Every structure is written in structure tokens, then in C-alpha cells.
Amino acid sequence: MNSGFTAFTSVHDVPDLAPLLEEALRVKASPLAWSDIGKHKTLGLVFFNSSLRTRLSSQKAAWNLGMHTMVVNVGTESWKLEMHDGAIMDSDTVEHVKEGAAVIGAYSDIIGVRAFASLTDKVADTSEHTLSQFQRYAGKPIVSLESALRHPLQSFADLITIEEIRRLANIQRRPKVVLTWAPHPKALPQAVPNSFAEWMLKADVDLTIAHPEGYELDEAFTRGAVLTHNQDEALQGADFVYAKNWSAFLGDSYGRVLTRDASWTITAAKMRLTNDGKFMHCLPTRRNVEVADEVLDSASSLVIQQAENRVVAAQTVLKRMLDK
Ligand code: CP
């Protein structure tokens, strides 16, 4: 029995992962089987940040359900939005989110919002300020397209991918999944690793998280995982290796790059430590910084399958919202 979503911003909006996963596999098998369910409905997509996969997969998912889509890139193609209540708007923001979100809500049946962490204002980031303001003022169900803290559609697509491989390889036990920090020249948010950890800890897998000292994630997301600073040890026996860079979260280091240690790059030699493990990354990735060409271009890489499953994840979520 479907349990429709009124919002999709984290794994906590999902009452039970197993039926959602089965539904996703049905959607993947017959993507056009529900092509009327969204007829005359509109998905508004609001981007505060760049995107390739999320932008395109959300639109394709909506089209597969018969929905129309509208995309707005805030601040470049539309007015720069003021996000703070009570602001005196005598600087560079032109429209308040109270009106902006409400207007987008008036045009849409469901709204997707992408708003990354600033990595400079930890209080605003950890309160999911931008996403919360849309939830407050849009008046329509909100789907997170990656917020300051989480990327639930990515994590759902990752879970679908792991389940597909688990079935294909007939893995009967709980697979060992390793989330490992990897180097990157820029400071990146913690949303993908937070969210991946949160989803994996609810799924039927064993999760290990490896990162250099100082890169501890918020334990609200990682409690229950095996945590280590030894990547090689973590990779032993892994069925899935999920590489991702993130910046520091704790204390005064928030949002900072503490190291670019190349010994954390995922190479073929690193993959040989695993149990014939599969390589995963949400993309985009920096080749030969986060992961070597030899891994990304090998048969063990699942990155394109993960990206394909972004359509499946988005379509399954939208379908449940429309069902509701
Ligand atoms: N993985 C992901 O969210 O990709 P985009 O940033 O390109 O949307």
C-alpha cells in the first residue's frame, strides 16, 4: 500500500524503505506506466546552485508522469531573493522569499528546491534556512533537490543502485558499504555524505565511514556506523565503495579544507583491497583527484547507473506525492 508523501526532504519522510525500494524498481521497469498521473500538474524547480543531474532527472521524472515543469535559477534568471524575515531590503536583494516562494507556489503543484550550505554560516546551514523558508511560504509540497544538510534524491538513487547490484550478484548477506572521504581542491558541503549515511543506516547494509582526522561529520547522521581514520582498513572486504569529498564540519574548522592528502584518492590498488567491490560517486567528480581514471573507467564503476537512477528516484517520489 502506498503511503503518499507530503514532503520529501530526508529519509525521515519515508515511513518504510523496503516498499519504497520495490516501488522504485517497478517504476524503473515500466517508466511510462503512470504517464497520466501528473496530467495538468506542474513541478516548479528552484535552483540556488548549479546542477546537471538533478535538473535534468527531475524534469524527465516529471515528464514520465505527465507533469509540466518550470525551472527558475534564482539570482541569475530571476530576482535575488531576500531570505531573512524582517530584513530592511536596501541592499542587493530584490524580492522577499515570502512573495517569491508564494508566487512559485501559486504556479506549481509540487516544488523542488536546491539550496546548498553556505559553509560560512553554520547556524543558517544547520537550520536548513533556505529550504525551511520555502516550506514556510510556498504553500505547496516541497521536494529537496539538495539542501544544506541532505541530498535525499541522490541517496535514494544510490540505494536503488546498491539493491540492483545486490540482486544481480545474489548477495544474500548484508553488504559492506564504505563511505570514504576523498581529496578535492575546493570546500564542499557535507550534504551528500550526511544523507548517504542516514539512508544506509536505515537500509539493510553495514556502513563504515572513513575520513582523515578533523573531517568528522555531525554524529546525528553517522551514529550506528563504524567510523575510522584508516581508509585501507575500511576498504577490506567492501562490496561498495562510495567516495566523496566534504569539508570540515566540527568547531572553528567548519567549511574548511584541512588536507588534500592524495593518499586518500581511490585508485585501482585501493579497490583491490575490497571484495571485488563496486565504485560509487554521486558526480560530478574531479578525475585523478577524488578517483583515478582507472577506477572510473573500469567495469566496477556504478556512477552512470547511479545517475540513471536519479530519474527513478525522483519519479517514485513524485508519483507518491501525486498519489497523495
Ligand atoms: N549528483 C548531483 O546532484 O548532481 P548535480 O549537482 O549535477 O545535480
Q: Is the CB of 154 under 6 A from ligand 1?
A: yes
Q: Which three cell numbers stand for residue 55?
A: 535538473
Cβ atoms of residues 155 and 146 within 8 Å: no
- Under CATH, domain 153-307 is a member of which superfamily? Aspartate/ornithine carbamoyltransferase (3.40.50.1370)
Nearest Cα residue to atom 4 of ligand 1:
53
Domain ranges (residues) in the chain: 7-150+309-323, 153-307
Strands 240-244, 176-181: pairing is parallel
Q: Is the CB of 257 under 6 A from ligand 1?
A: no
Q: Is the CB of 145 under 6 A from ligand 1?
A: no
- Note the pLDDT of residue 153: 98
Of 49, 52, 242, best ligand 1 pocket probe by most atoms within 8 Å of the beta carbon: 52
Q: Is the CB of 53 under 6 A from ligand 1?
A: yes
Q: Is the CB of 285 under 6 A from ligand 1?
A: no
- Note the pLDDT of residue 1: 44
Q: Cα of 9 to ligand 1 centre, how many Å? A: 16
- Note the pLDDT of residue 3: 66
In this prediction the pTM is: 0.97
- Note the pLDDT of residue 4: 80
Mapping DSSP onto H, E and C, the string for the chain reads CCCCCCCECCHHHCCCHHHHHHHHHHHHHCCCCCCCCCCCCEEEEEECCCCCHHHHHHHHHHHHCCCEEEEEECCCCCCCEECCCCCCCCCCCCEEHHHHHHHHHHHCCEEEEECCCCCCCHHHHHCCHHHHHHHHHCCCCEEECCCCCCCHHHHHHHHHHHHHHHHHCCCCCCCEEEEEECCCCCCCCCHHHHHHHHHHCCCCCEEEEECCCCCCCCHHHHCCCEEECCHHHHHCCCCEEEEECCCCCCHHHCCCCCCCCHHHCECHHHHCCCCCCEEECCCCCCECCCECHHHHCCCCECHHHHHHHHHHHHHHHHHHHHHC
Nearest Cα residue to atom 3 of ligand 1:
54
Of 47, 49, 56, 283, best ligand 1 pocket probe by most atoms within 8 Å of the beta carbon: 283
Cβ atoms of residues 47 and 114 within 8 Å: yes
Nearest Cα residue to atom 6 of ligand 1:
51
CATH numeric code, 7-150+309-323: 3.40.50.1370
What CA–CA distance (Å, rounded) separates 150 from 268? 29
- Note the pLDDT of residue 324: 74
- Note the pLDDT of residue 2: 52
Of 53, 113, 281, best ligand 1 pocket probe by most atoms within 8 Å of the beta carbon: 53
Nearest ligand 1 atom, CA 145: 3
Shared fold status for 7-150+309-323 and 153-307: yes
pLDDT mean for each 10 residues of the chain (324 residues): 80 96 98 98 97 98 98 93 97 97 98 98 96 97 98 98 97 97 98 98 98 98 98 98 98 97 98 98 98 98 98 98 89
